[in-house]
Amino acid sequence: MAIVELNKIRKVYDTKVAVEGLSLTIEPGTMFGLLGPNGSGKTSSIRMMIGMTVPDSGTVSLFGKPFDRASLHRIGYLPEERGLYKKMKVLDQLVFLGQLHGLSESTARSRALVWCERIQITEAIEKKTEELSKGMQQKIQFIASLLHEPELIIMDEPFSGLDPVNAELLQNTLIELRRAGKTVLFSTHRMDQVEKMCDSIGLISRGKLVMTGAMREVKSRYPRNRVQVVFSGDESFLGHEEVAEAKNYAGIAEIKLHHEAGAQMVLAAAIARGTVISRFEVKEPTLEEIFIEQVRASFGDEEARGIIDA
């Protein structure tokens, strides 16, 4: 049973098509990364996922059933644009938001205190929101979306604007939640985070799903045709017929091959010519490279340069 299933959803705002025929499946207990350049329809898709807007056509299923507002209590949502009541005290705020998710006041209060401890912001509890830094407000809102122990956690750009220490703290928290059996979906521009954390990804560009699947599967679709060689001596192997492109930075060469299988031939040729190899590494394509390639393909090269900010 898929925990989220979008079936050909489409949303048009006036004349702008925000999402076009998007289908997506998220399995329970996975960490799903939703990628895409700015304005590609990530937020619109997420809003339709939680019933904030209704798709013009297509269907949304949550927890194996057609969308129903009752299931919203099983979802924790962190919107892209953070918002808290400025004049309210942090603890009151968390209790209020917890209650809206169906918790009793006392449960909300005790869980809020536990979470503040866990995310290391106990000193903020008695303060008003407007007295806090932006990063701290973000942590408060992060807690607010988790208080009711949701099975599905949806976070729009959860780490943007955080310093590396706090970003890592929240990343680790999400990883722990995923280990505890929760399903996590988050959107981001940061490929390194996705590569490190996610089991599956979906890439959206111009309102369409360009690519989706398990991380390994996605990567395996791309040829492992890049090699980095650290060497000394004869460099004539760089002219081997399997080499499509080679850059030599004084002893460190980056090679692009025609075929994956070519790596062994190039290595054999180098050794045969007496080159001393101190490192020979066949590299996986990074997600970033895949991302840029896919987005460019969807826009056309020229346009992409100005739009991608990955």
Partner 1 sequence: MHNIWLIAKREYTERIKTKAFLIATILIPTLMGGGFFAVVSMAARTKTTSHIAVIAAQQQPAADLKQELENGKDSKMTVDILPASTPHAVLDREIAGKSLDGYLVITPATEEGARPTFDFTPKSSADIATSTAIQEALHTVLTREYLGEKGVSVSQTASLMSPVTLNIIGKHGEHGNSRTSFLVAYVLFFLMYMVVLLYGMNVARSIIEEKTSRVFEVLLATIKPDELLAGKILGVGAVGLTQVGIWMVVAGLLAARVGSASGIEISMTQIIFFIVYFVLGYALYSSVAAALGAMTNSEQELQQLNMFLMMPLFFCMLMLFPVINSPNSLLSRVVSQIPFCSPLLMDLRISISMPQPWEIALSIGLILVTIYAVLWVSSRIYRVGILMYGKKPNLPEILRWLKYS
Judged by the rule CB under 8 A, the positions of this chain that interact with partner 1 are 13, 47, 50, 52-54, 69, 72-73, 75, 77, 79, 81-88, 96-97, 99-101, 141, 144-145
Alpha-carbon 175 to chain mean position: 13
> Closer CB to partner 1, residue 85 or residue 230?
85
Q: How far is the CB of 207 from partner 1 (least distance, A)?
A: 16
Q: How far is the CB of 14 from partner 1 (least distance, A)?
A: 8
DSSP state of 268: H
Q: How far is the CB of 72 from partner 1 (least distance, A)?
A: 5
Q: Which of 22, 41, 45, 31 is nearest to 3 (CA)?
A: 31
> Closer CB to partner 1, residue 47 or residue 240?
47
Q: Which two three-digit tokens encode residue 161?
A: 């604007």
- Please tell me the distance from the alpha carbon of residue 68 to that of residue 183, in angstroms, as a whole number: 18
Tally of residues, the chain: 310
> Closer CB to partner 1, residue 130 or residue 176?
130
Q: How far is the CB of 134 from partner 1 (least distance, A)?
A: 13
Close Cβ partners of 67 (under 8 Å, ≥ 6 residues apart): 51, 59, 60, 61
Q: How far is the CB of 86 from partner 1 (least distance, A)?
A: 6
- Please tell me the distance from the alpha carbon of residue 148 to that of residue 162, in angstroms, as a whole number: 24
**275, amino acid identity:** T
> Closer CB to partner 1, residue 141 or residue 225?
141
> Closer CB to partner 1, residue 85 or residue 247?
85
- Please tell me the distance from the alpha carbon of residue 160 to that of residue 243, in angstroms, as a whole number: 40
